Structure 1
Amino acid sequence: MKQSPAETLDTPIGRLSFTPDFINGYPSGESVELLFDQIDFQRACQAYLWSIPIVSFAEWQKAHEVTFKARSGDVVVYDNYLAKLGILTANATTPYIISFFNLDETGPMVVRMPAGAVAGFADDMWQRPLIDMGQTGPDKGQGGVYVIAGPGQHAEPPQGGYLATSPTSNVFWGFRALDKDPAKAKALLELLEIYPLSQSNNPPKKTGVDISGIRWSQTPPRGIEYWRSLHAIIQREPVHERDRWFMAMLKPLGIEKGKPFEPDERQARLLADGALVGEAMAKANDFEKRLKEAHYAEGTHWHFALVIDPSQRAEFYDQLDGRAAWFYEAVTTSSGMVTRTPGVGQVYLGTYKDKDGDWLDGSKSYRLRVPANAPVEQFWSMTVYDVGARCLIDNPSQQADRSSRMDLKVNDDGSTDLYVSPKAPAGHEENWVETVPGRGWFSYFRLYGPKQEHFDGSWVLSDFEKADG
């Protein structure tokens, strides 16, 4: 039998053949196999970018439940370098008090916030804010009672209280005491109350979990373990309308709600490749942002690290690239983190490059000059993070930040020179953060209670400059 003619096409994904030609014919068996592999591989890459926020939170919740043995509603205090070492881009200055609520287990939860210099909020598992508490919340720092309810749960807050309903069954809750005095911060923590709404008549005392000396990490795993984490949290959460297309993409790869994760050899290979390339895409999307909203000031490589609306929604689309960029390197959102009100909340500036446009290198020495009169009502801090883990830099000195709360050496004109390098510059040890040769690093500069001079651009942060080693 005479073989039908075939047209062969060289494409970006390889050579494809069609009989008798591309327009009028059918793909060959080999081309069908290649195309299906590409469909599923590309879907895995995009599903990686889509799922970063929920996998990141799921890993943190797993650390609470498995590593720390914390139950739903128990509080974990992160008040030292080692405790914070596992958190994506944690600040190294103020203590964190964190809890996860499994509302399917507990029913609606009550949080009684104390009055004072505190900031708190609750996020759903996609890291969308449910409600702010404390200084940036409706109680304005005067203290208040908040009730967090889950999908389908009915709850009534007490008179004068506040209700937030989560679209996810699991919820993150966080609290920061902003007072510089550790004793005052501890006193505020003692006044905090957390308990199930069903026990309001006889509230139990909150349970704190000690994590002293425990090394841990919420950095999402790599390879097939990334997808195991995603599959596990999908089983615990409702599927929302906006995510149904991604659930369809995952189905041919062996990830479905209500079914075990048992990928065959082909699925496992494509998922592993998708996690690898997906993370590479996440790095490019994060470290070389192409979002115009990230622009900070002309002539600098600093940018706004958090550029999404906390809801993750724009007028005609959800902010896929913006949220993937933020949640690859960081964790949580709240209205206070994107403040436009002078004196309230925080501003996050991030940089990965020096003044020359070169990537920041752990083997080199740098100086950052912080201009005088930094526009903050509270304080500023400069923190150094590891590129691989996106957590506080794990250096021998166990010190990752310098802030205006510290006793720093200040120049005669009021500016402050900070040094980031493998070795301390002589005479500037108190202004120095140690880096690790062979590891890339990046920095956040935080403004707590940013003032008008930040918002009108009259005060601009300069770039890191290479310095003598």
Structure 2
Amino acid sequence: MAGDDTTPKVGLPGRLAGVEFDGELPARTSVAVVFDELDYQFACQAYLWALPLVSYAQWKTQHYDVFGATSSDLVRYLSYQDRLGLITANATTPYILNFFDLAETGPLVVELPAGPTAGGVSDFWQREVGAMGEMGPDHGEGGKYVILAPGVDAPDGIEADYRTLRSSGVNIMFGFRTLDPDPARADALVHAVRIHPYADRADPRPTRIVSPDGRPWTGDQPRGLDYWRRLHEIYQSEIVDERDRFYLAMLKQLGIEKGKPFAPDARLQGILEQGAAAGELMAQANTFAKRFEQGSYWPDRAWEQAIVLDDSAQRGEGYDELLERASWFYEAVSFSEAMKSTTPGVGQAYLGSYTDAAGEWLDGGRDYTLHVPAEVPAKLFWSATVYDVTTRCLIDNEQQRGDRGSRDEELVVNEDGSVDLYFGPSAPASGEANWVQTIPGRHWFSYFRFYGPLEPYLDRSWKLGDITAVEARS
């Protein structure tokens, strides 16, 4: 043997720095310290893994417990205040959606009217089950869909006019947006949607449209022990994917098991709280300082592709997209293929800016400008939106406005067709028409959305300016 000193030569981090050794092994008195570190690392990794699941589970509690919705209802978000709890909501078009447990409803019917809508169904891992509306098989012509839980056969004798969608999970979200700019026509579309169990098709309960109605709510993932409580709760009613079995082993060590209560002792409570805090810190870095191959959209700009997932299955080349999924579903909710459209004039495209042109975090106490060149390549409309980094929701400013875009009637357009937008705590000298108010002491980030992205966006020949800090006002 080369020597009898077999203790580790590399400095150990965190809790392990205090481990004492008995020769080449940890001293018996230090074994508990090693296990504490192991469980802490499990908690950090489980936090990142569970982000999309906990997000939808949290949002469902707000629908049912805060808004009083049931499985016969849809919730419609219309006003700015309605959307303040919705992670990276679009402030321009309404959202209509709800969450359903297929184990309770059985096969679920969605009757969608003809008209300009975009929507679909996803499971609670936020994997798209199927698109509906203009991007779905009905192509905006409407129709009847029946959604089946995993392992459930289609009902006997089902009529031929039903389109069948098989969910990859027991819990699902159905949602859509109306794309008609006329409020009356959009309202008629919303009230024409029907959702009910297939078993009740002969005499279904009316589909009620529920409003948040000014009630405060939050759809971002809870912090501390509440994160794990929400995860334990939804885990009780959800199937287990084969690819997740190792994570379930971690959850078991953390006191989260199917069919058993969540009752962590004092030691485990402390580890879970620290794991949630560290896990969120990792999620923030993973989201706001992305280190994926899909980097800056233009090499000389700070704008990045916000969605780094390859597809709704969350599967990469030879691996599953754990970090890509954690990045998107920490900062946003829902994903569909239409949100990464490569077909000119169809779907959407999302760019995110998390820093200014100099690479500094966007500071709510500073003033910034954004130059939007003429002829924005968006068939329908474009918008630039401000979000709070802590909640990832629309900024809750005194202005009660978080976006500016081509649908704004008051938007001031330059003679050459370009637009200059302003972000800062107070309005610029030019007035409020192109301004979004930010909050001193809070950081923010922005999305620039293209609805119906056109070829100059897709081939990158059109280029958006950076969010640029301006000199302090005198």
Q: TM-score, normalised by structure 2?
A: 0.95
Q: Determine if the alignment matches structure 1 residue 117 to structure 2 residue 120.
A: no
Please give the alpha-carbon distance, in whole angstroms, between the structure 1 residues aligned to 2:89 and 2:108.
26
The percentage of aligned residue pairs carrying the same residue is: 50
> Is contact 1:109–1:197 with CA below 8 Å preserved after alignment?
yes
Shift of 1:8: 6.8
In structure 2, the residue matched to 1:421 is: 424
Give the C-alpha shift of residue 69 in structure 1: 1.2
- Mapped to 2, the partners of 1:301 and 1:210 lie a distance apart of 37
Q: Which residue of 2 aligns with 1:165?
A: 166
In 2, the alpha carbon distance for the partners of 1:434 and 1:45 equals 35
* Structure 1 runs, 4 residues or longer, greater than 4 Å off: 4-9
Q: CA deviation at 1:109?
A: 1.0
Ranges in structure 2 where 5+ consecutive residues have no aligned partner: none
Q: Which residue of 2 aligns with 1:97?
A: 96
Contact 1:77 1:96 in 2 (8 A): yes
> Which structure 2 residues correspond to residues 76-225 of structure 1 after superposition, within 5 A?
76-156=75-155, 158-225=159-226
Do the aligned residues in 2 keep the contact of 1:6 with 1:18 (CA within 8 Å)? no
Whether contact under 8 Å (2:308, 2:324) holds in the other structure is yes
- Corresponding residue for 1:48? 47
Match of 2:457 in 1: 454
* Structure 1 letter corresponding to 2:222: P
Contact residue 395 and residue 435 of structure 1 kept, 8 A:
yes
Provide, for residues 127-168 of structure 1, a one-character-per-residue CA deviation record: whole Å limited to 9, x for no partner: 000000001111111112111111232225532432111132
For the aligned residue pairs, the C-alpha RMSD in angstroms reads: 1.5
Letter of the 1:318 counterpart: D
Counterpart of 1:314 in 2: which secondary structure? coil
Distance 1:266 1:294 in 2: 41
- On the 8 A contact 2:129/2:168 being kept in 1, the answer is no
- SS in structure 2 of the partner of residue 437 of structure 1: coil
Equivalent position SS for 2:358: coil
Shift in alpha-carbon separation, 1:256–1:374, aligned structure 2, 3 A: same
- What count of residue pairs does the alignment treat as equivalent? 462
Q: Equivalent residue for 1:268?
A: 269
Distance 2:356 2:8 in 1: 48
Q: 1:5 to 1:366 in 2, by over 3 A?
A: closer
Take 2:207 and 2:255, find their aligned partners in 1: how far apart are those partners?
40
Map 1:6-405; keep pairs closer than 5 Å.
Answer: 7=7, 10-12=11-13, 13-20=16-23, 22=24, 26-156=25-155, 158-308=159-309, 309-405=311-407
1:38-94 CA-to-partner distances (Å, cap 9, x unmatched) read 111011000000000000000000101111111113101101111110000000000
> 1:354 touches 1:465 (CA, 8 Å); kept in 2?
yes
Q: Give 1:163's aligned amino acid.
A: T
1:402, distance to aligned residue in structure 2 (A): 0.7
SS in 2 for 1:430: coil
Q: Secondary structure at the match of 2:433?
A: helix
Amino acid across the alignment from 1:88: I
How far off its partner does 1:6 sit? 8.5
Q: Secondary structure at the match of 1:50?
A: helix
Are 2:191 and 2:209, in contact at CA under 8 Å, matched by a contact in 1? no
Unpaired segments of 5 or more residues in structure 1? Answer: none
Equivalent residue number for residue 412 of structure 1: 415
Deviations 1:271-309 (A, max 9, x none): 011001000000000000000124311111110111201
Structure 2 counterpart of 1:384, which letter? V
Q: CA deviation at 1:224?
A: 1.0
